[in-house]
Amino acid sequence: MSTRFADKSVLVTGGGTGIGRAIALAFAREGARVAVAGRTGGPLAETVALIEAAGGKAAALIADVSKGEDAARLVRETVEAFGGLDVAVNNAGILGTPAPIADLDEDDWQRVIDINVTGTFLAMKHQIAHMRANGGGAIVNLSSNLGTHMRMSGLGAYAVSKAAVATLTRSAARDHIGEGVRINSVSPGPVETTMSTRPGENAADKADRMKSGVPAGRAGAPEEIAAAVLHLASPEAAFTVGADLVLDGGITA
């Protein structure tokens, strides 16, 4: 069993379900103490229970990262619970209500930008402040291939938000690598999660839709995204700075 993150403290936002849960579980399996954050307590408690059942240590922190005071509190409470913050994964995000740009409600647009972009900015702001004062650390942000390499009709707000996350990652990486804080992002393509299910869609139709146009012939698994995140956060990626790792089964190859 790998122990790359033994005695390390990790914060995962959006850690209650899907990719975020897979990331939290993967860090715990490799020895990390994991704080999982989100806006809803039930899913967070489930993630914590899974980690603890496997012998790991975890804590659930309820917060809205689009609020500066919550983003600051997440860092403070992680440090209080586990003695530090070595790795942060900024996964919290929403898809928003799909609509063409001309029909997109202004409030829906703002909500996507607030959570996906401002939330990532605020989270990094406070994570970096702690890390650079305490010997450094690693941050991995969740972008998307819809923001970095391709587009899909009706998802303009989401695509813009994820393009912004990738650009924000590169800017922060250049700003802070000299202070010992290493920052990268991953851009998943279609991944099998609850969020990827469309209203009224059955499992078979979803599987057919999600593998359509994917050279690998299938959607990705949350655990595959988690493996890439752990690599970028690990000492093995010490020379990787400001990178965006695309994980989309060859769609953008």
Give backbone dihedrals phi and psi of 251, rounded to 5 degrees, phi first: -60, -40
DSSP line for 13-57: ETTTSHHHHHHHHHHHHTT-EEEEEES-HHHHHHHHHHHHHTT-E
Distance CA 5, CA 28 (A): 8
146 and 163 Cβ atoms separated by less than 8 Å: no
Catalytic residue from among 17, 148, 158, 230 = 158
**158 is annotated as an active-site residue:** yes
Angle, in degrees to the nearest 10, between helices 18-29 and 222-233: 50
Distance CA 250, CA 217 (A): 9
Q: Which helix or strand (DSSP H or E) is residue 142 part of? A: strand 137-142
Catalytic residue numbers, as ranges: 158
